Amino acid sequence: MSTFIELVVNGVSAGSVYALIALGFVIIFKATEVVNFAHASLLLAGGYVTAVLHDDIGFLPALGAGIAAAAAAGALVELLVLRRARAEDRSVLAIVTIGVDIVLTTALTREIGTQVLSLGDPWGDEFVEVAGVGVAQTRIAAFVTATVLITAFLLAFRLTPWGVAMRAAAEDGETAALMGVRLSRVSLAAWAIAGALAAVAALFLTVFPTPGLDRATSFAAMKAFPAAILGGLDSTTGALVGGLAVGLTESLVTGYQGELAFLGRGIGDVAPFLVMLAVLLVRPAGLFGTRELSRV
C-alpha cells in the first residue's frame, strides 16, 4: 500500500506539471485554432535561460528571466512567423510550428551539447513524510505551484476582460472581431502566456529526481501532448484532467512494470499514448472537447 500511495503522489505531482504544459496547448488552440507543435522548444528555451543565469543572479531572478524569455519567444513566434505566414488553413500553420520547433530545438541543443544543467532550485533532494510515505519536496512544490497557476488562469479566463475576449474569439472569431475584440492581441497574449507556463513546467521537469536540463528535456515535455488531446484541445478543464490522467498512468505503469513485463520493456513511456488512443476511439474530440456537428 505504501508503494501505491507513493506512486499516486508522484503521479499527481507529475500530472500537475503536464497539465501546465497541456494548458499552454489549449490556450493557443482556443485563441487561434492552431495546434502548437513548437511548445516543447519554448519549454526548453525557458529552462535554458534559467539554468544559465541562476549562478549569477540567484534562483528566483533567473526563473523570472526564464519565464520572460519563454513568453517573449512565444510572442515572437506568433508575431514574426505565424502572423506573416498568410495561411488561412490551420493545418498549414500547425506544420509551420513544427518547422519553428525544429529550428529552436536545434539551436538550443547545440548550446546545451552533452551538458546536464541544473536550474538551481532550492529544494535539492530533500524529502518530507506524507501519510507515512517519503515524498520529494520538489514533487510537493510542483503540485502546489501548478495548482496556484492553473487556478489563477481559470479565474482570469472567467473574470477578466482578456478572458472574455479569448472566450469570444474561441466561440466565434468573426463575430468577436465585429464586436471590437482585437484578435491579434488575443493571439499574441495567448502565445506569451503559453510560453510562460512552459518555462515554469521546465523547472519541475528537470529538478530532483531527474538529473537536470539536457537536450532530451523537450522529448519529456511532449508527454503533455496526449494530455491535451485526451482532455480536449479546446477545454481548459480537459487540460487539467488529461494532465492528471497522464501523470497517474505513467507513474503507476512504470511503478508496476515488473508485473507488466509481458507488455514489453518501457511500457511506462508509451502508456499515456495508449490511453490517449483508447479515449479517442470512443470520444474523438477528447473527454471535454467540443464535438463538431455537421448537417448532412
With b for 16 or more beta-carbon neighbours within 10 A and e for fewer, the 282-293 pattern comes to: eeebbbbbeeee
CA distance 249 to 241: 12
pLDDT tens digits, the chain, 296 residues: what are they? 678 888 888 889 889 999 999 999 988 988 888 888 999 999 999 999 999 999 999 999 999 999 999 999 999 999 988 887 766 677 888 889 999 999 999 999 999 988 999 999 999 888 887 767 778 899 889 999 998 998 888 888 888 888 888 878 777 777 777 777 888 888 899 999 999 999 999 999 999 888 899 988 887 777 788 888 888 888 888 888 889 999 999 888 888 877 766 666 777 778 888 888 888 888 888 888 775 544 43
Report which of 160, 174, 141, 177 is spatially closest to residue 59, judged by C-alpha positions. 141
Q: What element of type H or E holds 96?
A: helix 90-112
Domain map of the chain by residue range?
A: 13-222
